[in-house]
């Protein structure tokens, strides 16, 4: 539903948490952050937003990541057994899980767990801009580019399902520039791929 709660619109959040964190050397999903872990933090923000359901796509380290999640009926866990292919496999797994569970989503927000500044307010803003603008894509804008978290209208689910390899949703964003609205997320440029970036996060 919308952030105002005035609609029966179904917006899912799909949190992509399947990667092996090869550059970091340990699962980034489980890094300590604000008394919790990165994946639990992002899931908590999604649970506080207007979105329902919250899909968490796991892969590498499935059992450990699953064990780190809070107990909440809104969370649906999806294991991507093809995680070695790259992020496209996780996107496909998340989108496919909606109809498989009998969920007729009107839109889906794709989010990652290594952008520590994601907030419930940001996710709600993506939803509100989508409903107000009529654009099928609402992307976060930062550092001169557009990216996650990003909302896709259901009309673009087939395009998401067609992604292959290590190609993420940004490809679709830039294929349809006239169909994109944006939300400012200046902190979005900061993500965690290396030990140095995690040390910088701990120093904030």
Tens digit of each residue's pLDDT (9 = 90 or more) over 123-173: 999 999 999 999 999 999 998 999 999 999 999 999 999 999 988 899 999
Domains of the chain: 11-202 (3.90.550.10)
Q: How far apart are CA 92 and CA 43, in angstroms?
A: 19
3-state secondary structure of 65: helix
Q: Of the given ranges (17-31, 63-77, 116-130), which has the lowest mean pLDDT?
A: 17-31
Pair of tokens at residue 62: 């499935």
């Amino acid at each position: 539903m919308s952030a105002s709660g005035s609609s029966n619109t179904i917006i899912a959040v799909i949190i992509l948490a399947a990667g092996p964190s090869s550059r970091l050397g340990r699962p980034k999903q489980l890094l300590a952050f604000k008394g919790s872990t990165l994946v639990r933090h992002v899931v908590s923000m999604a649970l506080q937003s207007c979105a329902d359901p919250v899909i968490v796509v796991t892969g590498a380290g499935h059992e450990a990541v699953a064990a780190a999640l809070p107990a909440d009926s809104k969370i649906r866990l999806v294991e991507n057994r093809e995680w070695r292919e790259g992020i496209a496999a996780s996107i496909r797994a998340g989108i496919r899980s909606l109809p498989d569970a009998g969920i007729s989503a009107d839109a889906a927000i794709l989010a990652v767990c290594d952008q520590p500044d994601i907030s419930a307010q940001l996710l709600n803003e993506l939803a509100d801009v989508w409903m107000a603008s009529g654009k099928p894509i609402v992307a976060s804008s930062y550092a001169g580019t557009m990216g996650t978290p990003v909302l896709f209208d259901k009309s673009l689910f087939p395009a998401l399902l067609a992604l292959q390899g290590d190609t993420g949703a940004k490809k679709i964003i830039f294929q349809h520039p006239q169909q994109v609205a944006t939300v400012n997320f200046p902190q979005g440029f900061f993500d965690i791929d290396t030990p140095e970036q995690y040390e910088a996060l701990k120093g904030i």
